[in-house]
């Protein structure tokens, strides 16, 4: 495989509701920041890939508006996934393997706040004949999964609260975090359920943000100051759709993606010092720690999604945050995870390292 690295990462602060900027205005300063940090110009970018989704934006063909921020003139090589932008990064990483170009800019825009009520929206992700008519509310499937975790002895409500305390505490050092602070386990446990055993703080808060990751191969990967974070392995896998058929306490697809990524990387997630996991719910942390085979990594030092979940940018932010730890010299190896769909049906794992091989 061609050696590809993350050479910069930028994000806008995740805010509960941005009512000032349209998509292009939201992402443009982040693109500028990421290119500046990489020492690159828009003309150096050979390929653009993005991720966003109409059902968060509330308009059909919404992503087209974002292209106004990219400078698509003269015409560019570009693609888009109607998914979390982590999958746009996967597409860009694939494209860079071809050797047609050396720099890819990946952006994700996620606005969880535009939908007045995500209970109207999220059931649309389900089988329209058998599941959507049940209209489970947005956290219902996660609640089932969390409950299964507790029943199986894989976690407890207290443990979930500890996860939240740790994440919100870590987020105090993250200027992009939407939510942060020092909270106490017992105070959290005193709150009511939203989908037992999940409480409001166990659910990653929806917010609005844009994120950009610049990938480079060849000489462009080595040019900027500071060290790049090499993408040593990247894989994603999907499970069957029906929650009743899956073992919700295990994310088999995450395990498989981690194993495939490890084959490519020559090391596994067990050796990562840092792990950024796309945990939309606190119970997914112990679940993924096991599924990915983490061996003592610091999990979600950014605070993770429990400190802010900008819809379709959330997974890309995980990759960016993991890469940042390496670029800052704080880690030699890191793992990032992204998810698509309810209850971890589809999972992406990315292994990053300070060394190219």
Partner 1 sequence: MTLPEPVTTMAGPLRMDYTYVAGAGRSVFLRGLAGRRVLARRCPGCSRVYVPAPELCSRCLLPVGPPFELDGRGVVSTFCVVNFPFPGQAHEPPYVVAHIQLDGADTRLMHLVREVAPERVRIGMRVEPVWVPDAELTASAASIRHYRPVVPADA
Partner 2 sequence: MSPRAEWRLAVPDGGLAGEGFSKVGRGMSSRAGWRLAVPDGGLAGEGFSKVGRGMSTALAVVGVGQSRQAKRREVTIGALVREAVDAALADAELGFADIDAVVLSKTPDLFDGVMNPELYLADAMGAVGLPVTRVFTGGSVGGHAAIFGAHLVAAGLARRVLVVAYSKESEGNFTWALSRGLPFSAHLGAGAGGHFAPVIREYIRRSRAPEHIGWQVAVNHRRNATRNPYAHIRRAGITLEEVRDSPMLWDPIRYLESCPSSDGSCAVVITGAELAERAPRPPAWIHGMAWRTETGHFAGRDEVNPRAGRDCAAEAYRQAGIADPAREIDVAELYIPYSWYEPMWLENVGLAEEHRGWRLVDDGRTAFGGDLPVNPSGGVLAGNPTGATGLLRFAEAALQVRGLAGEHQVDGARRAVGHAMGGASQFHALWVVGSEAPA
Binding-site ranges for partner 1 (CB under 8 A): 17-22, 24-25, 28, 32, 42, 55, 57-59, 67-69, 71-73, 113-117, 120-121, 124, 128-129, 132-133
Question: For partner 1, which is the closer residue by CB, 35 or 177?
Answer: 35
Q: Where are the beta strands (DSSP E) in 162-287?
A: 193-195, 198-199, 208-217, 229-238, 274-276
**Which one, of 272, 267, 235, 241, lies nearest residue 254 by Cα?**
235
Min dist. Cβ of residue 45 to partner 1 (A): 12
Sign of the Cα pseudo-torsion (283, 333, 213, 78, in order): negative
- Site track for partner 2 across 58-87, x = CB under 8 A: -xxx-xx--xx-xxxxxxxxxxxxxx---x
Q: Which residues contact 247 (CB under 8 A, 6 or more apart)?
A: none
Q: Applying CB under 8 A, which part among 184-192, 195-203, 315-323, 334-342 lies near partner 2?
A: 334-342
Residue 12, SS3 per DSSP: coil
Q: How many residues sit in the footprint of partner 2 (CB under 8 A)?
A: 64
Rounded least distance, CB 43 to partner 1, Å: 11
Considering the complex, what minimum distance in angstroms separates the CB of residue 97 from partner 1? 28
Report the alpha-carbon angle 200-205-208, nearest 5: 160
Q: Using only C-alpha atoms, what is the Rg of the chain?
A: 19
Alpha-carbon distance of 323 to 335, in angstroms, equals 9
Stretch that binds partner 2, among 140-148, 156-164, 172-180, 229-237 (CB under 8 A): 229-237
CA distance 226 to 279: 29
Which residue from 8, 11, 113, 125 is in contact with partner 2, where contact means CB under 8 A?
125
Could you give phi then psi for residue 250, rounded to 5 degrees?
-130, 140
What is the contact surface with partner 2 in residues (CB under 8 A)?
1-3, 48, 53-55, 59-61, 63-64, 67-68, 70-83, 87, 90-91, 94-95, 97-99, 121-122, 124-129, 217-219, 221-222, 235-241, 253, 256, 340-342, 345-346, 356
């Amino acid at each position: 495989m061609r050696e590809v690295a993350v050479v910069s990462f930028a994000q806008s602060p995740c805010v509960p509701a941005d009512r000032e900027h349209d998509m292009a205005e939201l992402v443009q300063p982040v693109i500028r920041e990421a290119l500046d940090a990489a020492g690159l110009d828009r003309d150096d970018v050979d390929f653009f890939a993005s991720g966003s989704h109409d059902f968060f934006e509330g308009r059909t063909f919404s992503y087209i508006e974002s292209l106004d921020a990219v400078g698509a003139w003269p015409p560019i090589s570009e693609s888009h996934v109607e998914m979390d932008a982590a999958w746009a990064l996967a597409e860009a990483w694939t494209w860079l393997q071809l050797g047609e170009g050396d720099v890819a800019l990946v952006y994700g825009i996620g606005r969880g706040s535009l939908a007045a009520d995500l209970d109207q929206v999220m059931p649309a992700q389900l089988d329209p004949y058998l599941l959507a008519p049940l209209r489970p509310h947005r956290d219902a499937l996660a609640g089932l999964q969390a409950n299964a975790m507790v029943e199986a002895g894989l976690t407890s409500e207290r443990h979930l609260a500890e996860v939240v305390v740790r994440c919100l505490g870590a987020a105090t050092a993250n200027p992009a975090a939407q939510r942060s602070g020092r909270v106490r386990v017992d105070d959290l446990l005193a709150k009511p359920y939203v989908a037992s055993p999940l409480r409001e703080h166990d659910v990653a808060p929806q917010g609005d943000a844009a994120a950009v990751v610049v990938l480079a191969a060849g000489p462009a990967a080595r040019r900027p100051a500071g060290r790049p974070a090499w993408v040593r392995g990247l894989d994603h896998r999907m499970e069957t759709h029906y929650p009743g058929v899956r073992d919700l306490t295990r994310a088999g697809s995450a395990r498989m993606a981690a194993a495939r990524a490890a084959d490519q990387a020559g090391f596994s997630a067990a050796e990562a010092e840092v792990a950024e996991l796309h945990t939309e719910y606190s119970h997914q942390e112990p679940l993924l720690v096991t599924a990915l085979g983490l061996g003592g990594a610091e999990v979600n030092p950014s605070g993770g999604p429990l400190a802010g979940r900008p819809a379709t940018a959330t997974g890309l932010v995980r990759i960016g945050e993991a890469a940042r730890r390496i670029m800052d010299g704080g880690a030699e190896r890191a793992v990032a995870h992204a998810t698509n769909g309810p209850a971890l049906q589809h999972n992406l794992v990315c292994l990053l390292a300070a060394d190219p091989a």
